[in-house]
Structure 1
Amino acid sequence: MITVENLTKSFPGKQNPVLALRDVSLEVGAGSLYGVVGPGKSGKSTLARVVALQEKPDRGTVRLDGLNTAGLDGRRLREVRRQLAVLDANQPLHAERTAAGNVAAPLEQLGVEGPQRRSRVGRLLDLAGLTQRAAQRPSELTEGQRRRVAIGRALAAGPAVLLADDPTAGIDADEAGAVLTVLDRARAELGVTILLTTQDASVVRRVCDDVAVLDSGRVVEHGSVLDLLASPGSRTAETLLPAIDTPRAQSARYDRFADVVLVGFAAVGALLPEAGSRFGVDLATIGGGLTRVGDTPVARFRVGVNGKQADSALAWIADRGAHVTHPIEGPKSVAA
């Protein structure tokens, strides 16, 4: 468990200090994959360095499994830092070493014996999907493969926490997907707690359990990704859910229309047809679409409803966990 309490961090500026973090608080559950998303210079990398104990905050506290890290120094600080690994996309691999040699480097520094070291390296290369690339040097690998080697290197010493600072920056979608798969496997198979920072909201949709949205050094929204997707006015929902663009003339064909967010296989697959059948209404999808958050299907549809019980059908859908909102514009719009 990582607990961040009221962190503030500033850096010297030309005239006044530059505030990188402003009273940031969040909780990262043990074994979770927590995303921190925001634009460039929003404070994401600073937060990762402070949690990794590489930077000291001006104010506030970082607790690791309840341990207040503020007063640590010397040997105890070094011991705690060994439980924290940082994956930095800008940190190069050793050019003269193979992929296996790069993963092995931290273990050599720790004096791990040869058989144990080789076993650990083999497991991590398998985790990274790079067993067949073990003997290749960084120059023979793609950028995405080098990122996966770097993940293996960061995990070599068996840290409890991995800080992954913008791990997919600058690589194409396929390679980014492979990098995210490795991080997800590390969480699932090794039990590593991962705090991931990114500018790309789609990264959150693919692998994160929880998210904090950081803007100008402040947390403006945080919580479970799935909960935020169903929250009215959520920035996470607006960023991750399919856009709705329905001409007004099309909406005018229906007695009622509404925007509906559905989460989960049962809701996405059956809730709308069942409402139509139960209330004897014609219910059509006239906008939006379907996406996935991890393995969970999530839909945002604009639905049009014709029939005397149109309002009852929409209310019934809402009562079963869907988030239903009625756009202001258009005919006969009412709030359920």
Structure 2
Amino acid sequence: MITVENLTKSFPGEKTPVLALRDVSIEVSAGALYGVLGPSGAGKSTLARCVALREKPDRGTVRLDGLNVARLDGRRLREVRRQVAALDAHPPLRAERTVAGNIAEPLERLGVDGPQRRSRVGRVLDLTGLTQRAAQLPGELTEGQRRRVGLARALAAGPAVLLADDPTAGIDQDDAAGVLTVLDRARAELGVTVLLTTQDSSVVRRACDEVGVLEQGRLVEQGSVLGLITDPASHTARAVLPAIETPRAQSARYDRVADVVLIGFASVGALLPEASSRFDVEIATIGGGLTRVGDTPVAHFRLALRGTCSEAALSWIADRGAHVSPVATLTCPVAA
């Protein structure tokens, strides 16, 4: 588990210090894949470096499995640092060494013997989907594949925590999907707790269990991704859910209009048809769309209902776990 308490970090400025982090507190569950989402300059990389023990905060506490790392020194601090791996956006790879050789290099520095080193390298090659690339040189790989080599290097020593700073930046969609798959497998198969930073809300949508949103060094929101998107007004929902754009005049033809968030196979596939049949109302989708959060289907729809039981149908949908937000409709003027 990673616990950050009231973390503040500043850097020298031309006239006054620049505050990169302002009393940030987060808690990352053991084995979670936690995303820190925010625009450039929000403080994401600074937070990652503090958790990775590469930066010392001005004040505040970082705890790894309950240990206050600021109180550690000497041998104990070195032991804890070995449990925390960091992936740089552009991992430094030795051009003259093969993929397998690059992955083995940090194990060589740790003095891991030959048979054990080969076993670990083979395992992370498989985990990262690079077994067929083991004998190739970094120059023969795509940027996304090189990023996965960096991940394999970071994972080879068996860390408990992995910090990935903007791991999909500058690579295409297919390569990004490969990197996110590796992070998910590291969490699921190795039990590694993953903290990643990103400006891309689709990374949070595709990969993260939990999220914290940073703006100008402040944490404005955190929680489970699926929990936060049930409130369409949340920062996470606005970033992750499909947008709704519907002319208001279109809504005036119906008795009731509401925006709904539906989560899960049963809700997305069956809830609306059942409500229509049960209450004998017409339900039309006039805006929004479908997406997935991880493997979970999620819908963000603008519904238009026609029928005397429209209000009852919306209440029934809400009682079954959907988030329902009524939308004001235009009133048509009555002709004289």
1:191 Cα deviation after fit:
0.5
1:104-123 pair list within 5 angstroms: 104-123=104-123
Which residue does the alignment assign to 1:152?
152
**Compared with structure 1, are the counterparts of its residues 230 and 330 closer, same or farther at alpha carbon in structure 2 (3 Å cutoff)?**
farther
Mapped contact 2:7–2:22 kept (Cα < 8 A):
yes
Q: What is the CA deviation profile of residues 29-67 of structure 1, one whole-angstrom value per residue up to 9, with x for unaligned ones?
A: 000000001011110010001001111111110111111
1:1-336 pair list within 5 angstroms: 1-331=1-331
1:331 Cα deviation after fit:
4.5
Q: Secondary structure at the match of 1:213?
A: strand
Q: What is the CA deviation profile of residues 137-160 of structure 1, one whole-angstrom value per residue up to 9, with x for unaligned ones?
A: 110000000000000000111000
Mapped contact 1:255–1:331 kept (Cα < 8 A):
no
1:253 Cα deviation after fit:
1.7
Mapped contact 2:252–2:329 kept (Cα < 8 A):
no
Q: What is the TM-score normalised by the length of structure 2?
A: 0.97
What's the C-alpha RMSD, in Å, of the aligned pairs? 1.0
Q: What is the CA deviation profile of residues 198-225 of structure 1, one whole-angstrom value per residue up to 9, with x for unaligned ones?
A: 0101000001000000011000111110
Distance 2:266 2:331 in 1: 30
Unaligned runs of 5+ in 1: none
1:91 Cα deviation after fit:
3.1
Mapped contact 1:53–1:81 kept (Cα < 8 A):
yes
Distance 1:247 1:71 in 2: 59
Mapped contact 1:256–1:331 kept (Cα < 8 A):
no
Distance 2:6 2:306 in 1: 51
Distance 1:237 1:295 in 2: 17
List structure 1 runs of 4+ shifted beyond 4 angstroms: none
Query: Which amino acid counterpart does residue 172 of structure 2 have in structure 1?
Result: D
Query: Which amino acid counterpart does residue 16 of structure 2 have in structure 1?
Result: N
Distance 1:82 1:138 in 2: 25
Mapped contact 2:7–2:23 kept (Cα < 8 A):
yes
Distance 2:49 2:329 in 1: 47
Query: Which amino acid counterpart does residue 91 of structure 1 have in structure 2?
Result: P
Query: Which amino acid counterpart does residue 28 of structure 1 have in structure 2?
Result: V
Mapped contact 1:256–1:306 kept (Cα < 8 A):
yes
Mapped contact 1:82–1:159 kept (Cα < 8 A):
yes
Unaligned runs of 5+ in 2: none
**Compared with structure 1, are the counterparts of its residues 210 and 185 closer, same or farther at alpha carbon in structure 2 (3 Å cutoff)?**
same
Q: Secondary structure at the match of 2:95?
A: coil
1:164 Cα deviation after fit:
0.4
Query: Which amino acid counterpart does residue 126 of structure 1 have in structure 2?
Result: D
Q: Secondary structure at the match of 1:325?
A: strand
Q: What is the CA deviation profile of residues 122-150 of structure 1, one whole-angstrom value per residue up to 9, with x for unaligned ones?
A: 11011111111000011000000000000
Distance 1:283 1:330 in 2: 18
Query: Which amino acid counterpart does residue 328 of structure 1 have in structure 2?
Result: A
Distance 1:182 1:276 in 2: 42
Identity of aligned residues (%): 76
1:231 Cα deviation after fit:
1.3
